[in-house]
A and B are shown apart, each in its own frame.
Chain A
Amino acid sequence: MNRRYFLRLTGLSGAAMVALPGLGYVSATNKEAAVGVIMQELAYLKLDRKGVEQYVEDYFRNHYINSSFKAQLNLKTCYYLGVTSGNSRLVHEIVHYYLISTDFFLNKMDESRLVKYLGIYNAYARSCSNPFSFLYYPPEVV
């Protein structure tokens, strides 16, 4: 996200944060906003919502967003305004990391299958889990 775009979003966010509750919307928590941006961005996939929520719990643990009002504002703005990963580095980071932490790529990007969260992607917790490697695409398949 470039600076100008961010400032515009921040301004809109400020206005939205004031206006939306007045219009009857309940302000989302940071985690709800994070779940929301994932569900919005990947609306065409069958996501296991409980898995998404668990991912956000895991992802937020020790994340700088917990102590950064600026990042929280950014996230909620993106959520309320439907900003996608192409326009927000934060949304890209959250969604990108979510998807690699699921079985979506292990299932060869099959959109008909329920996408299940497997735990934060960590090669030390699950070695040999690179979903694009020869283990999942052996030579005779490539």
Chain B
Amino acid sequence: MRYNSYDLVVIGTGFASSFFLHKFLRKAPATAKVLVLEKGHFFPHAERVKEKRGEETPYARLNPAYKDTFENHNPEKKWVFTQGFGGSSNCWYGCTPRFMPADFKMKTLYGVGNDWPLQYDDLENYYTQVEEIMSISGPADTPFPKKSGYPLPPHLFATADEILHKEYGNLYISQPTARARVAVNGRNACCASTVCHVCPVNAKFTIENSNMGVYEDPRVELLYGAQVHSLNLEQNVARSANFIKDGKEHRVAGEVIVLGTNALFNANILLNSGDSNPFTGKGIGEQLGLEASVYLHNLENVGGSTWVNANGYMLYDGEHRKEYAACLMESNNAPYYRMERGKWRHIANFRMVFEGLPEAHNYVATTSDSMRPAVHYKGPSEYTLRGVEKMKLKLPEILACLPVEKIVYGKPFDSEAHILGTTRMSANPTEGVVDKHLLHHQYRNLFVLGSGSFTTYTPSNPTLTLSALSLYAADNSF
């Protein structure tokens, strides 16, 4: 560490921190001093692929297994993420749909949850910027408003997707995705290997392959193995961050401090620091997903060009959200098949993803180990579960354009690998932790980034939106 005090201290190197830094560095003076504290270490993509092939790599031992970093009080529920440089960009699947405008005003439109303190139009320009940086592949026509086209062409549909798109138009689209349709910016084209957590051909956007130039910027000092456990909060100001590195306790002061870890650890650090906002740590949640296997009569479902070929919005937005959860369909292109002679690929698998709601009985708490938060989660909301039941009633009609033999539903997945809530965004401090610029309502030099800030839990994948929020926050605060 070169200095004892920095203009900006950023904690974490995932999407939220990296996009925030990207915007900040464009606006900051050449003399700006920035320190980034990363708990883990750099585990290069090429080494991750080696590990997946069963080859030895010393990098594999650098970062702890994510499961060992927190106490899970509900073993039936998993919370999935990746430790180390780039955070969960190293395990995400690259799905980047925008939210729908209605997702930001659930209370006004449907009397559910709360309204976000910013709206879709506020983010539109930042969505576009993230899509450019990530080189998103996507279609021309989308169910959400969009002022410009996607940078890369859309992925190809499989047979069943073609039929559904013909039936539903822009409610059934090629999924906008960070799995590149064509080679771009040092990445290869996606070839539907469908093991996207570590892409075998490096087609997926990650912080490592982003070419954003953030961590190469001479103003930025990146410290690995620096485990932040608390901040010094005094007189409504975040003064400094406390961390352990190489077994020793350290402290570093910052004019501005940015929490950019995930929703578990952002909340844990705030709680360790004495943050008394009643919403800090509360409401942890995510979407609920389950698989619908659709057996098709004499229709071979082949030809998609990526992992999730398409998104279906037929069960997403509308008045029904007053009563039950929205559902986003994902058309899956894994090499699944039927074990029936002559009917091998007469099947289509869809992941049905339902929105969640923040509930106070689901929360993050501190433990005797300041590095290890505890997660208490009772289960999905009634609102979500009603959405699942309604979907099962409606899906046969929605799929009537396909020659459906039968639909078989799987059990809900134990995770969608998204961690939402714990530092929710609100118009005022009586309803949440951060404002629309992701600034803590009480500590006005403290940003708390990421999907922990989400006010409500739309079924859409969170990464594009949390990255756009980081750009928005930095652009409107400096």
From known contacts A127-B200, A128-B192, A128-B201, infer whether A134 and B339 are also in contact, taking CB-CB under 8 Å.
no
- A127:B339 contact, CB within 8 angstroms: no
Please tell me if the beta carbons of B156 and A130 are within 8 angstroms of each other in the complex: no
Contact indicator A130/B53 (Cβ below 8 Å): no
Q: Count how many chain A residues have C-beta atoms less than 8 Å from C-beta atoms of the other chain.
A: 30
Q: Which of B156, B200, B201, B334 contacts A139, CB < 8 Å?
A: B156
- Counting chain B CB atoms within 10 Å of each CB, the highest count among A105, A121, A132, A141 belongs to A132
Q: Is B195 an interface residue (CB 8 A)?
A: yes
B162 adjacent to chain A (CB < 8 Å)? yes
CB of A142 within 8 A of CB of B159, answer yes
Q: Could you tell me the distance between the alpha carbons of A123 and B195 in the complex, rounded to whole angstroms?
A: 7
**CB of A116 within 8 Å of the partner chain:** no
Output the least CB separation between A88 and chain B (Å): 11
Known contacts A124-B53, A132-B345, A137 near B191 by CB under 8 Å: no
Q: How far is the CA of A136 from the CA of B53 in the complex (A)?
A: 24
With beta carbons under 8 angstroms apart, the residue of A86, A99, A109, A135 that contacts B192 is: A135
Give the CA-CA distance A32 to B333 in the complex, in Å.
34
How far is A95 from B344 in the complex, measured between Cα atoms in Å? 13
Does B194 sit within 8 A of A, measured CB to CB?
Answer: yes
- Taking the closest CB of chain B, its distance from the CB of A18, in whole angstroms, is 31
By the criterion CB–CB under 8 Å, are B201 and A142 in contact?
no
- For A125, the chain B residues whose CB sits under 8 A away are 53
State the Cβ distance, A34 to closest chain B Cβ, in Å: 16
Interface size on B, residues (CB 8 A): 29
How does the 8 Å CB contact mask read for A98-110 relative to B, with 1 for contact and 0 for none?
0110000100010
Question: Residue B74 at the A interface, CB < 8 A?
Answer: no
A128 to B200, CA, bound (A): 9
For residue A131, CB closer than 8 A to chain B, the reply is yes
Given A124-B53, A124-B200, A132-B333: A137 and B339 interface contact (C-beta under 8 Å):
no
Cα-based distance from A139 to B174 in the complex (angstroms): 14
B335 an interface residue at 8 Å Cβ cutoff?
yes
Does B185 reach chain A (CB closer than 8 Å)? no
B193 CB contacts on chain A under 8 angstroms: 123, 127-130
Contact of B156 (CB < 8 Å), options: A127, A134, A136: A134
Shortest C-beta distance, B216 to chain A (Å), equals 29
Q: Is the CB of A133 within 8 A of B304?
A: yes
Q: CB distance B200 to A130 under 8 Å?
A: no
Per the bound structure, the CA–CA distance linking A44 and B352 in Å amounts to 36
Query: How does the 8 Å CB contact mask read for A113-128 relative to B, with 1 for contact and 0 for none?
Result: 0000000011111011
Partner of B303, one of A122, A123, A137: A137
Known: A127-B191, A127-B193. A105 touches B335 (CB 8 A): yes
Q: A124 to B49, Cβ gap below 8 A?
A: yes
Contact status B192-A133, CB under 8 Å = yes
Q: Which residue on chain B has the smallest CB distance to residue A142?
A: B303
Min C-beta distance of B464 to chain A, whole Å: 24
Kindly state whether residue A85 has any CB partner on chain B within 8 Å: yes
A96 CB–B CB distance under 8 Å: yes
A136 to B191, CA, bound (A): 11
- Per the 8 Å Cβ criterion, residues 308-349 of B in contact with A are 333-335, 337, 339, 341-342, 344-345
Considering the complex, give the chain A residue whose CB is closest to the CB of B48.
A124
- In the complex, the answer to whether B339 meets A100 with C-beta atoms within 8 Å is no
In the bound complex, residues from chain A placing their C-beta under 8 Å from that of B233 are: none
Instruction: List which B247-306 residues lie within 8 A (CB) of chain A.
Output: 301-305
Whether A96 pairs with B53 at a CB distance below 8 angstroms is: no
Interchain CB contact under 8 A, A132 and B162: no
Contacts of B406 in A (CB 8 A): none
A135 touches which of B191, B337, B344 (Cβ 8 Å)? B191
Option from B158, B159, B344 in Cβ contact (under 8 Å) with A109: B344
B171-205: contact bitstring with A at CB < 8 Å (1 yes, 0 no)? 00000000000000000000111110010110000
Query: Is A142 a contact of B302 with CB atoms below 8 Å?
Result: yes
Are A137 and B302 neighbours in the complex by a CB distance under 8 Å? yes
Instruction: Please measure, in the bound complex, the distance between the C-alpha atom of A85 and the C-alpha atom of B344, giving whole angstroms.
Output: 14
Q: Which residue of B lies closest to A42 (CB)?
A: B341
A86 x B339 contact (CB < 8 A): yes
Q: Chain A residues near B49: list those with CB within 8 A.
A: 124
Contacts of A130 in B (CB 8 A): 191-194, 333-335
Can you offer 11 A-B residue contacts whose CB atoms are under 8 A?
A: A44-B341, A96-B337, A96-B339, A109-B344, A124-B49, A125-B53, A127-B193, A127-B200, A132-B302, A133-B192, A133-B305
Among all A-B residue pairs, the 6 with the closest Cβ atoms? A128-B191, A133-B192, A127-B200, A142-B303, A123-B193, A137-B303
